Amino acid sequence: MDHRTCLICWTLHNRVFETDKKVVSHPNCRCTLVAYQGERLVTGDESFEKLEKGVQKQILGKSRFELFENGDLNLSDFIDSRNSKEYGQNFYIKSLSDI
């Protein structure tokens, strides 16, 4: 989890998924699935909050950063999932007009 980690991966970080459901990802995803042991996990949102503002802005971009910094939106508000012929079900970053 660093400045090269994309917004989608920050949002998915330490999210718990049910084992009977397919886990959706995105092209070039750097995430790795691990078994959940029941311990309290620090979410991507919590980790992202601790980053320097400049790094947050670098990851989000200027307009998304302003929405995030104002408290209007959470990281998960910037992403959605869709079905693609090429990749199947996957996450994507919403356009600003879709937010």
**DSSP secondary structure letters along 64-88:** HHHHHHTTS--GGGGEEEEEETTTE
For the record, the structure tokens of 96 come out as 């600003």
pTM of the model: 0.81
Structure confidence by residue, pLDDT tens digits, 37-73: 888 999 999 999 999 999 999 999 999 999 999 988 9
